[in-house]
Amino acid sequence: MRICTCLYLTSRINTSDKLMTHYIKLILEGKLIDQTGGYETPTEEIDNASQLIKILIRICLWTWSENMEHNGWMNSLARRLRDYDKTDMVMGRVYSNVFDCGFIDMEQSWVQLLLIFSNKNDSVSKEIKEAIENNYITYREKQRLIGVLSKICNSIEYTKIKLTLTLDDLQTKKENLRKLLQEHINMLKKDLDMRLQDAAIDVHRLDSTARKTSEHLRKRIKKTLPLSLFKSIDFKQASDCFTKHKISIKIDKEPYAEGIESIPYINEGDIQADLILKDIQRIILSNLFSTGCSQHTVIEDFNMLIDHIKSSADLAGKLVLVMSKEIFQQYNRMLFDNPNLRELMRKNDDGSMNITTESGTRKVYFLPFVNQPFSLVVKDNYFTKLIIREYDNNKLVNVTSENIKSDSDKFKLTLNYELNIVFEGNADLKIAHSQRVTSE
C-alpha cells in the first residue's frame, strides 16, 4: 500500500517538490505508519533500489495471479483501490471499478521512486535470485517481467524528474539504476535461455492436441457451412485417392515443451480445427471454380435471378450456388421491402433455401464470403462425398512440431490431414452478375 501511495503521489507532482520528495522518502523508509482501513500494518524499511525492484516484482506477480491484463498494474492500479471518493485520496486494498489518470504513466513513476534509493552498490536481491534459480517464478512470468523491467529501463532517459535531486547526483543515479535493471533483465533472460535449451518437444501434449482438434473438426463439419452441401461425410482408414494437406502455425514454445510448465491455450483444438476447415473450404472452392460449364448467361441483380430460377423449368431439382456478395446484400435489403420473400424462400437446416414452383423445387445456397461475381447451377447431388482419413486412435488430425531456430521460444506446430473430395460431373450453368461495387 505504501508503494501504491507513493506511485500515486509521484504521478501527481507537476514540478520539482522538495517537501513531497522528503515525504515520499519517509513513507518508503517505513518511518510513517500505514493505517489503511484502521489497521496498523508492519512496514518493511526500504533503503536501496534493489529492494524496491523486489517489491515491484511482487506487485507484478500479485497482479498477474489475479488475472489482470498484461500491464494492468501500470495502467490501472487505482481500479484495485476501494473508498476512492476524491481525486487526491487513495484508501483501501480491494479491487474496484475505479480509475484515475494519475496511474496511467506508471513506468515514469517507478523511475522516480527508484532514483531516490539508487546507488553504486545495488545488486539483485538474494530473494529474487532464489526465486529465479528455483523456478518460483513461472516461465511466462519471467517473460513478462523482462518486458516490464525493460520498459522502466527505457523510460529512465526521457522521464522528467520531479523529485529533488542534484544534477550531478541525478546522472550517477540514472547510470546506477540502468545498470541494476539490466542486471535483473539479463539474469531473467539467461535463465529462460537455459530452460529453452533443456526443453524437449512434449509428444504427449501433441497427441492430446491431435485428439482435441479432431473432435472439434468433426463438430465443425456438421455445421451449416459450405461443407454441409455434401450429402455424406465419411471418416475412413485408407484410400488411394487421398490428398495430403498441412497447415503450419507458429506458437509459444512452453505449452508444448517438456521441462517448461504447460499453459493450456484457450479453446485449444477449436482454433486449429477452424484453420483446417478454412483450408478445406479453399480446396472445395478451388475445385468448384475450375469445373466446366455447359451453358453461360448474364443476370445482373437479385430480382432477375429469382425470376429466372422460378421461370426456368430445367432448374427443377437443381442447386444454385450464389457467390456474389452484392447479390447477397440485395437479398438482405429485399427482406425489408418484401416480407413475402421469406415465404418464397424457406430456409433449410443445412443453410440452403427452397424455392417451390409449379415445375418443382430449386435450392439456393449463398456463399457471400467467396465474393465472386457469379453463380453456379449444379445438380442436387453434385457434392457426393467429403472424406477425411482417420489416423491412429480415431484422430482426423496428426500433429507434429519442430523448434524454430531463429526464434528459440517458438514452435512450428504442423497439422496434418488427408482429404478426398468427389464432385458429380460438371456445373450445368454459370451465371455472371454485375461487378458493381456497393458502398456497404
The two most distant CA atoms of the chain are separated, in Å, by 96
Same domain, 146 and 231: no
Same domain, 272 and 183: no
Same domain, 108 and 213: no
Residue in this structure with the C-alpha cell 524496491, named with its chain if needed? 52
Same domain, 131 and 224: no
Residue in this structure with the C-alpha cell 500500500, named with its chain if needed? 1
Same domain, 206 and 168: no
Same domain, 384 and 331: yes
Q: Where are the alpha helices (DSSP H) in 68-202?
A: 72-75, 106-117, 126-133, 139-155, 167-198
Same domain, 153 and 260: no
Query: What is the chain's pLDDT, residue by residue, as a tens digit (440 residues)?
Result: 667 667 766 766 666 666 666 667 766 766 655 554 444 445 566 778 888 888 888 777 766 665 544 444 444 444 444 333 333 333 332 233 333 333 434 677 788 888 887 888 888 888 899 989 888 888 878 888 898 899 889 888 877 776 666 656 788 888 899 999 999 999 999 998 888 777 778 888 899 999 999 999 998 888 766 777 777 778 776 667 889 999 999 887 777 888 777 666 667 889 899 999 989 988 888 888 888 888 899 998 898 998 998 888 888 888 999 999 999 999 988 888 887 888 888 888 778 889 888 888 889 999 888 888 999 999 888 888 888 999 888 899 999 998 887 666 788 899 999 999 888 888 888 899 976 544 33
**What is the number of structural domains in the chain?**
2
CA distance 407 to 70: 22
Among 198, 214, 238, identify where a domain stops. Answer: 198
Same domain, 357 and 217: yes
Same domain, 356 and 419: yes
pLDDT recorded at residue 199: 76
Q: Where are the alpha helices (DSSP H) in 76-125?
A: 106-117
Residue 260 near residue 199 (C-beta atoms within 8 A): yes
Which neighbouring-strand residues pair with 383? 423
Same domain, 19 and 45: yes
Residue 42 near residue 131 (C-beta atoms within 8 A): no
pTM of the model: 0.61
CA distance 329 to 302: 9
CATH number where 400 lies: 3.90.1690
As a whole number of Å, the end-to-end CA separation of the chain is: 53
Same domain, 123 and 7: yes
Task: Show the domain range for 254.
Answer: 200-440
Among 160, 183, 198, identify where a domain stops. Answer: 198
Same domain, 152 and 282: no
Among 163, 198, 233, identify where a domain stops. Answer: 198
